[in-house]
Structure 1
Amino acid sequence: MTAPPSPPSPPGAERTDGSTVRIGALVPLTRPGWVQAGRHLLAGLELAVRDVNDAGGVGGRPLELVVRDTAADPQRAAAAVDELARLGVAALAGEYHSVVARAAAARADALGLPFLCSSAVLDALTEQPTEWVARLAPAQSHGWRIYADFLLGAGHSRIAVATQPSVYWACGARILRDHLAPRGGTVVELDMSTLAPTALCDELAGHRATALLLLVGHPEPAVSIVRSVRRDRRLAEIMIGAPAGQPEFAAWATSLGDDGAGIPFLRYLPERLGPLGARVGTALRERLAEAPSFVAFEGYDTVAVLAEVLRSHGADRAGTAASWPRVAVEGTRGRIRFSRMPGISVWQWAWPPVQVVDRDPAAPDRLRVLHTGHPGPEPHR
C-alpha cells in the first residue's frame, strides 16, 4: 500500500546525529479528565519507553516521550497535536477519552502525522477513512455488543440506561438498542441532565427494568446513582452495570466500598497473560503502587508497536503511516496486527481480548471474569 502524500517533515524529525526519536503522548492528567486512567496510560507508555531504550533504542537512538495533558478537552488536544507536530515528533500516541481522541485524530490526519490511539473506542474516530491513524482499543460497537450478549445471557432483556449528553454515550445507547432489539430486548434512556438520582430511582421502579447501565461520568453522577439505587428497597433485585469501565480503577472502590462491587464492566485483557504481559504487569504494579488496569497495558503496547515501526521504517511520517497494514508485534495481550474493519475509519487491531468482569462482592479488591467475548468478524486484509 502506498502512503498518502505527506507534508515535509519538520527539521529534526529525521536527524541521524544520535539525537532522540520523539513520540508525542496525549494523556488526561488533570480534571475534568479521568486522571486515574491518564496516570495508568502514562505509566504504560513510560515503562515501554524505558524498555525500548534499555534494549538499544530505535536504530541506536533513544526514544523520548513528549507528554501533553489533554484534560479531556478536545480543543486542548488539537492544539497539543499542532505543537507536537512543530516539535518534530515522529508520531503521536495515547489518549483515553473518545471525544478528545477524535479531535486529535482529525488534526493528525490534516497534518499528516501518524497517530496510534491507545484507549479511545468511538467507532467514528475520524469522519472519513484515513491512512494516518491506527487504534489498539476495540471499537465501541465490538465491545458493547459483547456486553449486550452478556446481559442477555444473564437473563436481562429490559434495560434502562442512565445517560448524559455526549456523542460517546449516545453511540453506546444506540449500539445496545440495535443489538438487543432483534433479540427481544428493550432499552429505555433516562437523561441524568434532568433527573436527580432519587428521581431516577422512581423512574426505574416504574419501568420494571432488571438492569441499569451507567452511561455517565465518574465520580459524578455515577457514584451518587449507585448509592441511591443500592439504598432503594424497590430496586433490590436490579443489576447495575457500567460497560464503559468506571469500576476498573481503585478510585471506584475507594468511593463506593461494598456498594461498588457486583457491577459488571468491560475490560480488555486476556484470561491469562503470557510471559511478556506477566513481566510488564509486575513492573506496572511497582510503578503505580496498585494493580495495573488494562489501560496501562494499552499504553505499553502503543509504544511497543511504534518502536517496532520506527525501527523498520525510520522516523519518516509517511513511512510510518504506510506501515500499519504490515505491523506484526507481540504485545502484552496478544499479537497485534492492524486491518480495515467494516464501519471503522482507521486501521484497527481486530481484536484485542474483551472480558466482562466485576468486583467480587465477597472481596471488592478482586475482579471476577463473568463473560469472554468472541473475536468478531474477519478483518479486511
Structure 2
Amino acid sequence: MKSLRIDNVSGVVTGRLGEPVLTVGSVRCVDGKIAAFDDDTDADVIVDANGATLCPGLIDSHVHVTFGDWTPRQQTVGWIESYMHGGTTLMMSASEIHVPGRPTDRAGLKGLAIAAQRSWENVRPGGVKVLGGSVIISPALTEEDFAELGAENVRLAKVGFGAFESQSEAAPLVRAAQKAGFVVMNHTGGASVPGSAAVSIDDVLALECDIIGHANGGTTSLPDEDLERMFDAPGALQLVQAGNLRSSLRVIDLAKDRDDLDRILIATDTPTGTGVMPLGMIKTIVEFSSLADLSAADTIALATSNPGRVLHREEGVIDLGRPADMVLLQPPAGGVATDPLSAIERGDVPGICGVIIDGQVQGLRSRNTPAPARLATVH
C-alpha cells in the first residue's frame, strides 16, 4: 500500500454545496483514496501543509483537447500540465473539434472518438485525468453507432458542430446517445468556429442534453430573456471563463432565486480563440464568489462536486473512500486576506501550494498563481 498524510491543515472544504468548512488538521490517503481524517498513523509521504486550506481538485467539464499535451489552436505544448498548476485535476473533452483535418464522415467521426478515448486512457500530463473521446453528433450517425461506441467505452458526445440545418434536429440522436449511457453536451449561443452553427434557446430546449454547454455563451451569449428559459431544460447549466461574465452573473442570480445552484457548473471552454488559461477555473471561482455574493466554499462546489455528479465520477468531494484529488490553498502573499477563502470572496486569486492527484503529489508551489503566503513541504 502507498500512503500519504497531509498535516497542519487549517480546514477542509468538502466540495459539497451548503456544507461548512470542516475543522480537520490532517488527511490520510491510502492507495489513492482518502482513508482517514485526523489520523497520525505514519505514511510513506508526509506533506506539511503549513496552515493551508484543503479543497477538492477542480473539475473542468469543457476543454478542447486533441492528442497529447498540445493545442493546435494556440500552438502551445504543455498546457494541460500548466492547468494542473491552476488546481485542475480532472478535465472533460468538449469534443476533439480542433484536431487538424478533423473527419466528418461516419467512420471518421467514430474513429476519432475511439482513438481519443484510448489515447487519454494512457497518458496523464502533469497527472491530470483527461476524459477524452467526445463524439461529434452529426446527421451521418445512427442510433446503432452510439451502441457501438458505448461498447468501446466512448461515453461523451457533443452537439453543435454537426451539419444539421437546425441543431434541434439532432434531438433523436441525443436520445440514442443518452440511452447508450452517454453524457451529452450542447453548444449554446453564437457560432464559435467556421462551419459551426448558432444554437438558440429553442434548440437547447428541444435537445434536452445533460449539460447545456457554455450557457453564458461561447463566446456570444443568448439574449437576456432566454437565460431564464434555460432552466426549463433538464440539464446542468455550464458557465465558462471564455464566455460572457455578465450573462454568468445573471444565471447565478436566477439559480439562487430558484434554489438551483446544484445545476451550475464552472468550466473554462479553453484552449480556444480565447487562449490557454491555466488559471481559468480558479479565476472563475474568484469572479463568481466576489461578484455574485456566493461563499467561497459554495462556489468551489460549482467546480468540484457539481461537475463530478453530472459526469458520474467519484472525484470532486473530500470524504472517506473518495479519490485523493486535492488542492492546498493559501492566501496570496502580500494580500489583505488572512485565509484563502476570504481572498476568494474579496476577488483575489489564492496561492496554490500543493496539488495532489490519486494520493500523489504532482506539484507544490504553483508557477501560475500568486505566491502563497506560506509554502507546503514534503517529507
TM-score normalized with structure 2 length: 0.29
TM-score normalized with structure 1 length: 0.29
Structure number having the greater helix percentage: 1
